[in-house]
Amino acid sequence: MTNEIRNEKRSKKNNRNEKHRLSNKAIIIIGCIVLFILCIVISLIIFFDMLYNKIYEESSPTPSQIIDTITLPPESGSVEDPEKTESPELTEYMPEDNIKFILCFGLAEFDLADTIMVAILNETDGKVDFLSIPRDTYIRYKDDDDRIKPEYWKINAYYNCYIDDQVVTTTDSASSMNLMGVCEKLLNIDMDYYIRISYDTIEKVVDSMGGIEFEVPFDMIYYDYTPGSEIEIELYKGLQVLNGDQVIEYLRFRKSNVEQYYIEDVSDISRIYRQQALIKAVIKKALTLDNISSVINIAKNNIKTNISKEELTGLISYGLTLNTEDIDFEMLHGGEKTVYGKSFYTTDSMDIREQLIGICE
């Protein structure tokens, strides 16, 4: 009987020791998992900090020549004495929903803003609209006597500052703020942030994603062998996988200079609609990528923004909740008009207000 009692006690002790060992093992495993997760979190924080430090640039003050009053396109007069009829002034548009406006633009040659969009983030409804602003949009300030040539009255030229029609060198941040101020005044909104990107960034991003399947609507053929501005565009109609270089050709194409490939619709507006379709295809693929690290790696070296770190964190979180159905594209309402032999895209402030209300509310 004594042996049975002794054996029972020994068994209970062994069980306790075994449970203790299992408990210690579980603690070690849990500890390792927690440490692993902590390492991942720390790595992500470090990565995000490095990414942010790469793309962030301090905002410059909006240049002083951003004057309050926009003039209407001239109906008559000379280039030297342009008409400066004031546009009707509206109060700044304040949407009812939780809306953020972010200027997104791409730079082409000669430091001109070739593609201009305003991202309208509606956090109340969970959607994003990209409002395209044609690069030929007419905009001129009442007291701006430094832009005499009509070609400098186009919005894409407002990335640069001019004095007596001569470009004044500024920092990239000052130029970006200049363009943002112009877009703010055109749309009559408050806009705090911009994202600046170059065309070669899009090329690298597309290549990192393995190309984009896209249907080219018609043959796009254009040749220019002018020294310093050589360009060859050779894209043929049909569904195909475009690499980065071909995507740039598609985005840049306006009209063919080869007679057999002439098409009727070669306006900048039709080009914008084509650009929107391709950009949407790029976004759709980016949102479905299993490994987006290569895209991020390219972006950190080729994109600049003045968005604060806290705001950027929130925007990234918001972006991860979106589907392609939540993203839409619109064109700024307006029409084409010839002024002093130059083609402009002209707008109406009331029409713009109604369009913004339709998008935001």
The pLDDT tens digits of the residues spanning 33-66 come to: 444 444 444 434 444 565 677 788 887 765 544 5
Q: What is the mean pLDDT of residues 113-131?
A: 90
Same domain for 19 and 70?
no
Domain count, the chain: 2
**Encoding tokens for residue 99?**
């809306």
Half-sphere exposure of residue 241, counting CA atoms within 13 Å on the CB side? 6
Q: Which amino acid is residue 160, in one-letter code?
A: N
**130: domain range?**
56-360
Same domain for 146 and 242?
yes
Distance, in Å, from the CA atom of 220 to the CA atom of 281, rounded to the nearest integer, reads 19
Q: What is the mean pLDDT of residues 225-249?
A: 88
Per the listing, tokens 């020294």 go with 227
Same domain for 13 and 141?
no
Identify the burial level of 32 via C-beta atoms within 10 angstroms of its C-beta, where 0-12 means exposed, 13-18 middle and 19 or more buried. exposed
Lowest-confidence segment of 11-15, 313-317, 331-335, 343-347 by average pLDDT: 11-15
> How confident is the model at residue 260, as a pLDDT?
73
Q: What is the mean pLDDT of residues 246-255?
A: 86
Same domain for 3 and 67?
no
Same domain for 61 and 74?
yes
Say whether pLDDT at 3 is over 60.
Answer: no
% of the chain surpassing 70 pLDDT? 73
Contact 257, 277 (CB under 8 A): no
Identify the burial level of 170 via C-beta atoms within 10 angstroms of its C-beta, where 0-12 means exposed, 13-18 middle and 19 or more buried. middle
Say whether pLDDT at 100 is over 90.
Answer: yes
Same domain for 21 and 131?
no
% of the chain surpassing 90 pLDDT? 19
pTM for this prediction: 0.78
**Encoding tokens for residue 38?**
């902590």
Distance, in Å, from the CA atom of 180 to the CA atom of 272, rounded to the nearest integer, reads 20
Structure letter (DSSP) for residue 85: P
Instruction: Write down which residue in 10, 31, 55 finishes a domain.
Output: 55
The pLDDT tens digits of the residues spanning 81-92 come to: 555 566 666 788
Q: How confident is the model at residue 80 (pLDDT cuts 50, 70, 90)?
A: low
**Encoding tokens for residue 297?**
């790696």
Higher pLDDT, 242 or 171: 242
- Nearest CA to 115 among 195, 61, 214, 220? 195
Same domain for 287 and 159?
yes
Same domain for 31 and 77?
no
Same domain for 230 and 96?
yes
154-160 own/partner pairs: CB under 8 Å, 24+ apart:
154/342, 154/344, 155/113, 155/116, 155/179, 155/182, 155/183, 155/186, 156/112, 156/113, 156/114, 156/116, 157/112, 158/113, 158/182, 159/105, 159/107, 159/111, 159/112, 159/113, 160/111, 160/112
Higher pLDDT, 162 or 259: 162
Same domain for 176 and 238?
yes
CA dihedral 196, 200, 202, 206 (to 10 degrees): -160
What is the CATH classification number for the domain harbouring 80? 3.40.630.190
Contact 186, 155 (CB under 8 A): yes
Distance, in Å, from the CA atom of 113 to the CA atom of 101, rounded to the nearest integer, reads 18
Same domain for 5 and 70?
no
Helix (H) or strand (E) holding 127: strand 127-133
Higher pLDDT, 56 or 102: 102
Lowest-confidence segment of 14-28, 130-144, 159-173, 205-219 by average pLDDT: 14-28
> How confident is the model at residue 334, as a pLDDT?
92
- Which residues, 6 or more positions from 239, have their beta carbon under 8 angstroms from its beta carbon? 213, 214, 215
Same domain for 256 and 322?
yes
